[in-house]
């Protein structure tokens, strides 16, 4: 596990860098550290290896998922440049915790033992609890951290109950051991095994914000500092779906009839609740929270399909969602810093104040809505094609209708930026880090939308 080792070492080095009175070197060093981790992770591609007494395993799929996670962190980190000039902020601690959280995220993509999955989830979750409440003087941030912690603790308890029941039914914690037992007893699985599967599903679905386990998401996303919300909405979701896909497509594949109706029902419920709720939001941040929930619904459809296209669809969709979300939240950070508001009205007249930010925002919204020539369109198309191949036509009809609803609330932001005026318009200044990050995220969104084979050939 090259990436895990490097992240652990670099995280400790970053903490020691915090003793330096000057903070300006922290961000460049952190970016270099993450880039080295990404290169080290890609080095393991095509080299299936086992670690920690076969409790973790590196596969091409896990390497690609881990690379998407590290790329999300690389794109998100430059947006934190404001912490370098804030005397009350502690960027060294923030960056170190982010690196430690990435250790948990990568463990969730490489686990070969359910215990390692649990450890990875906890490393990632505890880091997010701390970062969600990092703005100690803000009551919303404190509330977000408390809600996230309490509900996350319940989800963890449910997950552990499920793991205990799986062990009681099969006598094994390993993915291969569970799969072998389930394959041999697929005709008549024990009630204990079915209940364990359901409880583990609840724990994992909570982490990816799927309905009806999504209630924490809008409040936590809104209360947490926007930089950490960006990290949470990309890294945590990708890691969660990597774990869910491996569990359902490998460990429990022979129990498909026992979980397909549950996942299908959750996908429909997630799409309906999230998209309808997003229509009524006045806060851009809360709208993005419900958007995050809706994208969990689309990814669940790909998991439900379980065919040759599912894997590529999930990986590409996660990548497309990551680039668009980073761009959208990056624009929000700059606009909210200027106007001290996260509502749609803060974006009014943005096209005249800063055409670059307005363009980045428009591309991000189009990608999230699934408009052609963006990566989001290709991602949705791949998900739908995988579901059609498995015969889930009715589910696709619902998904397409909800995608139309999504166009409505995503375009509310574009209309505000390009078709409305702001009498109190102010110039929005961008630092170099923000310009490069937003330009790169937008370029990748277009590139993957116009030439998706560039990444699909690797996947």
DSSP letters spanning 223-251 = HS-HHHHHHIIIIIHHHHHHHHHHIIIII
Average pLDDT over residues 376-395: 92
pLDDT of residue 400: 94
Name which of 10-24, 185-199, 302-316, 377-391 the model is least confident about. Answer: 10-24
pLDDT of residue 428: 78
The Cα–Cα gap between 290 and 406 comes to: 10
Angle formed by the axes of helices 175-184 and 139-170, to 10°?
Answer: 50
Name which of 45-59, 219-233, 287-301 the model is least confident about. Answer: 45-59
Tokens describing residue 434: 């923000």
pLDDT of residue 425: 66
Average pLDDT over residues 44-63: 81
pLDDT of residue 337: 84
Tokens describing residue 63: 């390497």
Residue 24's closest CA among 70, 76, 74, 80?
80
The Cα–Cα gap between 202 and 244 comes to: 11
pLDDT of residue 444: 94
pLDDT of residue 42: 85
Average pLDDT over residues 213-223: 89
pLDDT above 80 for 86? no
pLDDT more than 90, % of the chain: 61
Q: What is the pLDDT of residues 261-295, one digit of tens each?
A: 999 999 999 999 999 999 999 899 999 999 999 99
Question: 233 — phi, psi (to 5°)?
Answer: -75, -20
pLDDT of residue 452: 86
Band of pLDDT at residue 396, cut at 50, 70 and 90: very high
| Separation in Å, CA 73 to CA 70, 213, 259 | 5, 25, 32
Residue 228's closest CA among 341, 375, 357, 124?
124
The Cα–Cα gap between 48 and 198 comes to: 30
Q: What is the pTM of this model?
A: 0.94
The Cα–Cα gap between 157 and 1 comes to: 28
pLDDT of residue 49: 75
Average pLDDT over residues 178-204: 90
Band of pLDDT at residue 259, cut at 50, 70 and 90: very high
Name which of 47-51, 180-184, 370-374 the model is least confident about. Answer: 47-51
Q: What is the pLDDT of residues 121-153, one digit of tens each?
A: 999 999 999 999 888 888 888 888 999 999 999
Q: Based on C-alpha coordinates, what's the Rg of the chain?
A: 21
pLDDT above 70 for 17? yes
| Separation in Å, CA 352 to CA 85, 332, 423 | 28, 16, 12
Tokens describing residue 270: 């997630």
Tokens describing residue 182: 């389930």
Pick the more confident residue, 155 or 85.
155
Tokens describing residue 65: 């998922």
Average pLDDT over residues 158-174: 93
Mapped onto helix, strand or coil, the DSSP state of residue 51 is strand
Tokens 């408390």 correspond to: 146
pLDDT above 70 for 459? no
What is the residue-averaged pLDDT of the chain?
Answer: 90
Band of pLDDT at residue 187, cut at 50, 70 and 90: confident
The Cα–Cα gap between 316 and 300 comes to: 14
Phi-psi region at 326: left, alpha or beta (left = phi > 0; alpha = psi -120 to 50)? alpha
- Domain residues of the chain, as ranges? 2-456
Band of pLDDT at residue 332, cut at 50, 70 and 90: very high
pLDDT above 80 for 236? yes
Name which of 135-149, 183-197, 222-236, 418-432 the model is least confident about. Answer: 418-432
Question: 362 — phi, psi (to 5°)?
Answer: -65, -45
pLDDT above 90 for 404? yes
The Cα–Cα gap between 194 and 63 comes to: 30
Average pLDDT over residues 345-361: 89
Q: How many C-alpha atoms does 91 have within 13 Å on its Cβ side?
A: 25
pLDDT of residue 286: 93
pLDDT of residue 240: 94
pLDDT of residue 343: 86
Q: What is the pLDDT of residues 290-323, one digit of tens each?
A: 999 999 999 999 999 988 888 899 999 999 999 9
């Amino acid at each position: 596990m090259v990436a895990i080792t490097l992240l652990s070492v670099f995280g400790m080095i970053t903490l020691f860098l915090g003793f330096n009175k000057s903070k300006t070197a922290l961000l460049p060093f952190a970016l270099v550290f993450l880039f080295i981790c990404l290169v080290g992770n890609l080095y393991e591609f095509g080299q299936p290896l086992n670690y920690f007494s076969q409790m973790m395993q590196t596969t091409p799929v896990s390497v690609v998922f881990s690379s998407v996670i590290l790329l999300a962190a690389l794109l998100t980190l430059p947006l934190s440049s404001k912490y370098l000039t804030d005397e009350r902020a502690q960027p060294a601690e923030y960056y170190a915790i982010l690196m430690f959280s990435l250790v948990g995220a990568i463990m969730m993509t490489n686990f070969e033992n359910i215990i390692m999955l649990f450890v990875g989830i906890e490393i990632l979750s505890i880091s997010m609890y701390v970062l969600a409440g990092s703005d100690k003087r803000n009551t919303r941030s404190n509330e977000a951290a408390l809600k996230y912690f309490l509900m996350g603790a319940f989800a963890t308890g449910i997950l552990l109950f499920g793991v205990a029941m799986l062990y009681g039914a099969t006598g094994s914690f390993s993915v291969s051991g569970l799969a072998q037992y389930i394959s041999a007893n697929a005709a008549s699985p024990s009630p204990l095994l079915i209940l364990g599967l359901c409880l583990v599903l609840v724990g994992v679905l909570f982490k990816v914000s799927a309905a009806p386990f999504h209630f924490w998401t809008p409040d936590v996303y809104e209360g947490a500092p926007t930089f950490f919300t960006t990290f949470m909405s990309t890294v945590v979701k990708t890691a969660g779906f990597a774990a869910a896909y491996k569990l359902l497509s490998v460990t429990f594949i022979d129990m498909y009839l026992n979980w397909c109706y549950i996942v299908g029902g959750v996908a429909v419920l997630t799409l309906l609740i999230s998209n309808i709720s997003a229509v009524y939001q006045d806060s851009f941040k809360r709208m993005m929270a419900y958007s995050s929930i809706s994208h969990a619904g689309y990814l669940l459809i790909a998991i439900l399909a379980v065919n040759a296209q599912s894997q590529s669809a999930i990986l590409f969709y996660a990548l497309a969602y990551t680039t668009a979300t980073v761009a959208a939240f990056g624009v929000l950070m700059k606009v909210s810093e200027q106007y001290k508001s996260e509502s749609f009205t803060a974006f009014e007249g943005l096209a005249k104040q800063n055409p670059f930010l307005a363009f980045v925002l428009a591309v991000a919204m189009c990608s999230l809505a699934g408009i052609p020539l963006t990566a989001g369109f290709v991602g949705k198309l791949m998900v739908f094609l995988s579901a059609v191949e498995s015969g889930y036509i009715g589910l696709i009809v619902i998904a397409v209708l909800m995608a139309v609803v999504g166009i409505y609330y995503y375009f509310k932001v574009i209309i505000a930026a390009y078709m409305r005026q702001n009498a109190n318009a102010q110039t929005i200044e961008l630092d170099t880090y923000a310009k490069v990050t937003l330009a790169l995220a937008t370029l990748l969104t277009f590139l993957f939308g116009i030439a998706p084979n560039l990444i699909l050939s690797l996947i």
